[in-house]
Structures are given as structure tokens and as C-alpha cells.
Structure 1
């Protein structure tokens, strides 16, 4: 699975397994890694006046010494700078001994704009602050504005969390090995990495068999096989029926966006439920979406009357916290009998800020899962304050812990949205653009999830697919998009996906 993402400990295990079971020496893996780094330098920055290679004392530095040797053999002017001495007998020490070029102390490092810097000081497993002499060197490289190639991860970026431990140098290219790590995909690490190149250095995929990965980059291979395929025998209800609850008459837009998104995603029927004065406003804007009146005290009964309804979106613009709590708990309490699944967003999440245990207890009583939560950072903090405040946890850790606590699929929104399931699976979304930073964008996302769940997708796969389609639609809508533009582009993203075409190609 090329889209699997490995924590630092898992990557170290894969290295060890390959050395011990595939009879591939660690020095060979290091040679291959250094060669991949050198190749990236030559392909992109071979015109540079000098290659200045910053080498730490560990394996990251060993990769740097190999790269320095190969670059020198290719004809480049190369100088290495030693930030510590490799321990005797290690693979890094062997790599250092094979490099015959100049090795200078860090204090001599003086880069210019015409140079290329290779950052091979520290790898992905760093958890402590950068030493002062490393900070000084990185600052010099930053001031020189020369291109930078990072080995594995920019020094100072934590591989498991993407956290900047202070002073990390933003790379133009980061060359990593075998599989990406969470730090390549989570901010701020993602921004510091620049272009990420994953090089095959000989690590064996069989190393993952004993403990298969549970973190993935969110790509169509994860959920494409369960997407509905068009069938000539379908009718509107067999395609899926989704319901969206509306806010009051002065807050109808959010529900309307969610309903339109559910419809554009493929739900054959979509109904908005709300008080009559709100439905009058919806009626002036909608044609093919059905409207059903309800009052706060009979909302669940009216929902139960909808034919073939399999998914309900509650929260966008809803406003009434008391009714939201009653509705959500009723839906979940009856989920095993009705098969109805709940997407809880926005006001639906905030309604449980001080009563989250009631929500989680009811969700845990369901056989399987019936709940999708879609919090942004502030809403996540309202439902899971202890997790939100725990600085030792990565965004993936927080989302996975929240999913287990709530027995729900948790889509933790942001530029690096994480979709987590109670069984520990997590997907990191990477195709979001600034177009999604607009009012109503989150309402569109909740509607896409509801539309996919209504068509029978499992909850985690539906949330992953929704995050990806939402990102593609945002990119298609352009940099000045509003939420309505994103809705309009959903079928374009979906259609290109189903046609097996390159969804990153220019949009029509």
C-alpha cells in the first residue's frame, strides 16, 4: 500500500526487518538513500555553484555523507559540515569514512544564493529542541535564500506529529524513504517539507505484514472500491435518501448548502425538515429538494416518516441546542432498528459541549457505528477538551482517541483534515486548498458525507471520500470560490473519479 503512512517506530521496524530477514545490509539501505538524495539534487539543482551538506551524527547524517560522495563523483563542488561524529562501527561511520571530500566544522558554514544546501542533520525521530549551533546554521541557510533539499524530514520537524520543534528550515524538496510519515502530511511539517519525494531504497513491504498500517494518506484507493456504481435499475430511493434539518427562518442557508451537496453527491432524494416559516424561504430557492414541516417537539417523528431515509445531517445553522440534543439522542437510540446514520456538525456538536458523555454513551450502545462528527478545531475542543489541550498528542492521535471515546467516525477539519475511526484507522487529507476557507464550506462537507452515507457507504469510507471530493471541488471552483461554487463542482470531481481520469488535471 503505497498510500500507507508510517510512524517513526514503524519505519524503524521496517528497516530492521529488512536487514534481518531480507539479508540486505544497513549500509546498502544507506547507500540507496544517499543516492536518492543526490539524484534529487542533481535533477533539480545540478546547476548550483556548490553543494553544502549538513551532516548529523546519526543515520540521517550517514545518508548525507553518501549523498556528498555521489555528488562529488558527479562533478559538483561539495563540502560537508559535521554536526557531531558518528559512533564507531555504525553504518553512518562507514558512510563517513567512504567520503573523501572536505569536512568542515559547522562554524565554517557560509552559504550563498548560488549554493544548494542538503539538510541531513536530524531525521524524523527528533523530539528535543535543536542545539544552538544547528539553529545558527539553519538561520544562515534561510538568510541565503538558497535551495534546500532535506533528508527524510527538515531538521526540527517531528516525524510523528509534524510539529516544528523550533527553527526548522523550510525545504524546497524533502526526500524520504519507503513510505511517508505523519509529519510529511500534518501542518506545520507539511509546509516545511516542500515537494516530498518517496524513494524506494530496498525496504521490503513484507515488513508491514505483522502489524499492518492504520494511518493512510487519503487517496481514492482507500474508498474507491465501495463507491456506488451507476445501475440502470435504480430509482430515486434506491440511490439513497438523505435528510437535513433546517435552522430558523433567518438561518436557512447552511441547511440548504448541505442538502444541495448531498444531492450533488448522488443521493437520489433529499429532504429538508424545518418549521413552516423556514420552509417558505427554502421553497423560494429550491426545486428538486423535498420539504417537510416539523416542530421542535415532533422533529424525530417527522424524520421517521421519510421513505427509505438512511442518513441525517443535523447542525448546520440549526441554532436550537435543546432540540438538537433531543434529536441526536433519539436518532442514535433507534439506530439499530431504523438503520439511520447521523452526521453531526456545527451547532449539533456545540449543543453537546457540556453534555458530551450523554452523546458518547448512546453512541456506544449502537451495534457498530451510527455517528459521524465533523468538528473544526474549536468544536473539537468543546467535545474533547482534554484531548485538545494535550500537547503530547498529534492531530492523528487526538482524532483517533476521540473516535474511540465517542464510538464515532471523527472528521477533524483543517488544512490537514484527519478522518479517524474507532478501530484506530486514520486518513490524512492532503488536497484541500484555500478555496475551502469560505463561509458555508463546512456545511457543504457535511452534506457530501450525508449523501454518501445515504447511498450505503460505510461511515469511515464515506467521510474519507467526502473530504477528498470536497477538496477537489474546492480546487475546481477556483481561489475566489464561495460555498455555492463548491457545490456546483462536486459532480465534476465525482464524474472524473468514476471515469478513471486524472482528477488533478486541469478542470474544464
Structure 2
């Protein structure tokens, strides 16, 4: 599976295993990596002079290979070296083979129109750039020189995607074998520019030995679980979703969520409305059912009578005791005769309602046979439920989501332009197809509905959350400028059609 993500430490171990297993030695992997970078440079900037900045480790070794290949192709190449190479290392061998005499990085100078190959540090750097390296960033930035980064722009963390201080902003980044979290997490994703993933000879079997637990969120991660209704399916076999509504002045969010659940394939959807919101909801609902739900007894009766597969609580509901009681009632519902409730999606007001008593929620989520709990917080809601995790600056967004998921016993959809989906067992996915058009009121309500709709159709919780995030983002990206939340449910249709065709083995349109 090529969507695995490797941390810098895991990538180092992959290198070690590949070299130990053979047939390629370390210098062979380095030559292959350098060839991939040189190909990218020649393909995009065939006539420009090139300045290759080489660090003291393997990243620098890749740079010496790049310089050698560009020189052999007739390119005007300069090499600027930082630090001392370890005697006998693959990088030292690459430097010996390089026909371009290196000059010290401290003297780095470039001309307008040149290209910079950043082979200083790559993904393994864990401290800010300083001295000559920092000055090199300033030179490249001041002259607006295109930068081709080897593995990752120096100064960007491969673990977190955070800029550690000054950092190169690349036009192209060439990485090897698998992407790193820093390629997808912001701001790293933007600082990488175009990302090229090159095969340098580290096979899938080597990657499998590492048992990666982080992934890029693409359909290949979950398409095998994507629900396709059987020929003889009826509406309740396709799952029933209940969506809790707020009062008469706050009903729209629930209806958005309900419509998204229906569009995503749930066979039946019911809006659970307080009595004083029934008339408003009835005036706007057609295919969505409506039922009064004022208290826990009403909730329990609905669950007993209609046997819903998944529920959504939070959009427009209001913050307070009622939200807490309803959420705990769903998580504590007795097992149904034909199976249990598959999941509760807790969003917005539902999350905030537990900010003072998060442990009560987490305890309920861990109860044997409890429905799967999916929490969909944005940055502010995450901080309300997990204040200590949110404040820990040593944790990447990926690490924060994983820590929160383990603590809560729940799926965490940590929203943003680089949404992270994490499961209690350590699996996590980073979404990379988000679009700015989704930053609009009500967008999150639609995401909750999609998630519940997929849960109701029997998709496992982690895969359902990942699929919902990707589908939601893809619909928003395709719609583009002018998107409002009301557009999203209908915008899901072509995305869902293509996924269905892919799942069925047909060529997508």
C-alpha cells in the first residue's frame, strides 16, 4: 500500500533494512535518489545554472550525486558544502565521485535565474537552521530562486511539518520510497511545493516490516469497506441515521447533517426535534423523517422503536446538560436484538458540552459494546476537550490526534486544512485534498452527516471517518469558489458515483 507515511526514524530504519537485505548497497540507494532529483531538475529547468547545497549527512550525499549527474549533462553546476563528511560513509564516497570541486557554504552566492538544490538536511533535522544554512535561505529567498528540495525543505520538520525557524520554500520536493508526515501537515505541505515520490529500490516488503500506522488519506485506504447496497436492499438494511436538532432558531445545522447522511447512502434519516422546533423542521423536510425528542425517554423510545444505526449530536443543538444527557444515553443504549448502534458522531455543541466532564464521556465510550464514538473537533473544540494535549508544543498535530484518540477511546477527526483522523489503536491518516472553499459555516455539519451515513451502512468507524473526510473535501474542491454548505450534499453525488464504480471494478468516469 503506497499511501503509508513513514516518520524520519522509520525511514532511516527502512534504509537500514533495505541495505541489510540487499541487493542494493547504501551507495546504490544514494545514487538512485540523486538520479531522481537530477531528473526533476533537468525536466523543469534544463538550461539554468544550478547551485547544489550539500550537508554533512546522507542528504548531502544525495546532493553530490545530483551535482555529478548535472555536470555530466552539461549543466553549469556549483557545489557548496557544509560540515565534514564521515570518513568511509556513503556520502563521503559520493563526494569523492563528484567532479565539481565544493566550496564552503559560508561563501554561498548565487545569481538571478539560477536554481538551488537544497541537499542540506532534509527530513531528519530536529533543530532550527543556523549560521551558514540560515544565510543560504536568506540568499535564495531574496533572489526568489526556485528551490528543489531533497527529501524535505531544510528547516521543515519531517515529523510535524512545522518550520523550525528559517526554512527553504521549495518549488519541487523529491522524496523517496514513502512520504513523511511533514509533507502533508501544514505548513510543511505548502513549503514542499510540488511533491515527487521516487522509487529508489526500497521494496514494499521492507516497508511492510515496519508495520506503519500512519497513512495518507486516499481512497485506497478504505475503498474495500466502502458500502455498496445489495440488489435486494431495502431502506432499513441501508441503515437509519438519527440527527438531533436544536430549538426553533437553530434547526438548520441538523437538517444539513441529515441531508448529507441521506446523500451518503443511509436508507432512512430522522431529525429528532424538540417540540418547539417541530413546525420549523417540518416546513423544510421532505424525504427526511421527523420525530419529537424532548427528553431521554423520547431518545430511548426512538432507539427502541426505530433501531437507528448511527446518530449525530451537536450541530446547532446548544451547549449544556441536555446535550450531555442525550450523548450518554446513546452511548449507554442497550444492545439491539439485531445488533447494536454502530456509532455516535459528536460534533460542535456536543463536544463543547463535555468540556468540564470529558472523563465521563470517555468512560462511556469505553463501555463494552458501546457504539463507536467519533469526535469531530476543530482546533478550538479540541482544546476544550483536551486542553493539556493542545498546549503541548512538542507534539505534532498527528501526535496530538493519536494521543487524544487513545485517551478518549474514540475516533478523532481533528479538523483543519490538514485534517488528521486517528483511532484509539494508533492508526492515523492525514488528509491532503482539502480546499479553502470548505471554510464556510455549516461545512462541518455536512461532514458529521456523511460520517454517520457511512457508519449506518456498516463501514468500520476509522474507515468511515477517513472516507467521510476525503469525500467531503473532494466535493468541496470540485465545486470550488462560491461554495456554501447547502451546496455540499448535492456536490457529493458525482464523488460517490465514482467511488461506487471504483468499488465495483468499473472504470471511473
TM superposition score category, shorter chain reference: over 0.9
User: For 1:209, what is the secondary structure of its paired residue?
Assistant: helix
1:99 alignment partner in structure 2 = 98
- Whether 1:263 and 2:262 are equivalent positions in the alignment is yes
TM alignment of 1:458-469, pairs within 5 A: 458-469=460-471
**Whole-Å separation in 2 of the counterparts to 1:439 and 1:30:** 49
How far off is 1:249 after superposition?
Answer: 0.5
Contact 1:299 1:327 in 2 (8 A): no
Distance in 2 (CA, whole Å) between partners of 1:47 and 1:216 is 37
**1:109 CA drift (Å):** 2.1
Give the match for residue 14 of structure 1.
14
Q: Which residue of 2 aligns with 1:405?
A: 407
- Unaligned stretches of 5+ residues in structure 1: none
Q: Tell me, in whole angstroms, the C-alpha distance in 2 between the residues paired with 1:408 and 1:349.
A: 12
Aligned residues: 503
Q: Aligned equivalents of 2:112 and 2:192: distance in 1? A: 19
Matched ranges for 1:355-434 at <5 A? 355-367=357-369, 370-434=372-436
Name 1:327's counterpart in structure 2.
326
Residue 2 of structure 2 is aligned to residue 25 of structure 1 = no
Aligned partner of residue 191 in structure 1, secondary structure: helix
For residue 171 of structure 1, what is the aligned residue in structure 2?
A: 170
Partner of 2:283: 284
| Pairwise CA distance, 1:211 | 3.2
SS in 2 for 1:31: helix
Q: Secondary structure at the match of 1:38?
A: helix
Aligned runs of 1:90-489 on 2, under 5 Å? 90-334=89-333, 336-337=335-336, 339-340=340-341, 341-367=343-369, 370-489=372-491
* Residues in 2 aligned to 1:301 and 1:453: alpha-carbon distance in whole angstroms: 20
Query: Could you tell me how far apart the structure 2 residues matched to 1:258 and 1:204 are?
Result: 43
CA contact (8 A) 1:240 1:454 kept: yes
Contact 1:156/1:165 (8 A) holds in 2: yes
1:369 and 1:126 map into 2 onto residues whose CA distance is 42
The equivalent residue for 1:85 is 84
The alignment status of 1:46 with 2:38, answered yes or no, reads: no
Following the alignment from structure 1 to structure 2, what is the Cα–Cα distance between the partners of residues 144 and 303?
A: 66
Deviations 1:407-433 (A, max 9, x none): 111111011111111111001111110
Q: Which runs of 4+ in 1 moved over 6 A?
A: none
Whether the 8 Å CA contact 1:388–1:398 is kept in 2: the answer is yes
Contact 1:240 1:455 in 2 (8 A): yes
Post-superposition CA distance 1:34-81 (Å, at most 9, x none)? 010000000111132x01101101100000010011001011000010
8 Å CA contact retained: 1:78, 1:102:
no
CA contact (8 A) 1:13 1:207 kept: no
TM-fit CA distance, 1:336: 4.4
Measured in 2, the distance between the counterparts of 1:395 and 1:335 equals: 35
* Deviation of 1:132 (Å): 2.1
SS of 1:410's equivalent? Answer: strand
Task: Tell me how far 1:368 sits from its aligned partner.
Answer: 7.0
Q: Provide Cα deviations, 1:209-244, integer angstroms capped at 9, x if missing partner.
A: 333111000011111111112322111111111000
Report the CA distance between 1:306 and its aligned residue: 4.6
- RMSD after superposition: 1.7
Q: Does 1:57 align with 2:33?
A: no
TM-score (norm 1): 0.96
CA contact (8 A) 2:172 2:195 kept: yes
Q: Which moved more, 1:216-225 or 1:360-369?
A: 360-369
TM-score by length of 2: 0.96
1:58–1:335 Cα change, 3 Å: farther
Q: After superposition, what is the alpha-carbon deviation per residue over 1:377-411, rounded to whole angstroms, capped at 9, x for unaligned?
A: 11111111111111111111111111111111111
What is the rounded CA distance, in whole Å, between the counterparts of 1:306 and 1:180 in structure 2? 48
Deviates more, 1:2-11 or 1:198-207: 198-207
Contact residue 262 and residue 451 of structure 1 kept, 8 A: yes
Is 1:2 the counterpart of 2:23? The answer is no
d(CA) in 2 for partners of 1:35, 1:206: 23
Listed as ranges, the gaps of 5+ residues in structure 2 are none
Residues 1:336 and 1:420: Cα distance change in structure 2 (over 3 Å): farther
Q: CA offsets, 1:449-468, max 9 Å, x none?
A: 01111111111010000000
Q: Give the 3 Å change call, closer, same or farther, for CA 61–336 of structure 1 in structure 2.
A: farther
Whether the aligned pair in 1 keeps the contact of 2:55 and 2:83 (CA below 8 Å) is yes
Instruction: Please tell me whether the aligned partners of residues 498 and 508 of structure 2 are also in contact (alpha carbons under 8 angstroms).
Output: no
Following the alignment from structure 1 to structure 2, what is the Cα–Cα distance between the partners of residues 335 and 154? Answer: 53
> Could you tell me how far 1:305 is from its partner in structure 2?
4.1
CA distance in 2, matches of 1:184, 1:211: 19
**Contact map agreement 1:335 1:370 (CA 8 A) in 2:** no
State the alpha-carbon separation in 2 of the partners of residues 26 and 426 from structure 1: 30
Give the C-alpha shift of residue 84 in structure 1: 1.4
Q: What is the rounded CA distance, in whole Å, between the counterparts of 1:307 and 1:297 in structure 2?
A: 15
Deviation of 1:303 (Å): 2.9
Deviation at 1:331, TM superposition (A): 1.2
